[in-house]
Amino acid sequence: AQTVTQSQPEMSVQEAETVTLSCTYDTSESDYYLFWYKQPPSRQMILVIRQEAYKQQNATENRFSVNFQKAAKSFSLKISDSQLGDAAMYFCAYRAGASYGKLTFGQGTILTVHP
């Protein structure tokens, strides 16, 4: 079974600074996708960024980027120029290519942004 581990229950960052959230996963599949979701206090699930395992290039979405290390099964999220609105719970998620959308989530990391 696939597992996703986020070892940082809480992280904090100063506004305008950079923070990195860690995620590791375990799978025997070769075809899979990785995601970072943001869940603000409203509890809405917001897709931040996604990475296809077959792509070597790290995904980037504006201030958000990932460091995808396939051999190490690591998928960290870097948030640059942190903003107050980035404060939320962040979940790393895994989806096998043939799973028809079934997601496995990590435990989550609560990110606090200090002004």
Partner 1 sequence: GAVVSQHPSRVICKSGTSVKIECRSLDFQATTMFWYRQFPKQSLMLMATSNEGSKATYEQGVEKDKFLINHASLTLSTLTVTSAHPEDSSFYICSARVDRDSVLYSNQPQHFGDGTRLSIL
Residues that bind partner 1 (CB under 8 A): 42-45, 47, 89, 91, 100-108, 110
CA-to-CA distance for 77 and 64, rounded, in angstroms? 7
Q: How far is the CB of 109 from partner 1 (least distance, A)?
A: 11
Residue 62 Ramachandran class (φ > 0 left, ψ -120 to 50 alpha, else beta): left
Measured from the CB atom, is 36 or 91 closer to partner 1? 91
Enter the tokens of residue 51: 């990475």
Measured from the CB atom, is 16 or 40 closer to partner 1? 40
Q: How far is the CB of 17 from partner 1 (least distance, A)?
A: 24
| Residue 104 and residue 4 in contact, taking contact as beta carbons nearer than 8 Å | yes
Q: How far is the CB of 108 from partner 1 (least distance, A)?
A: 5
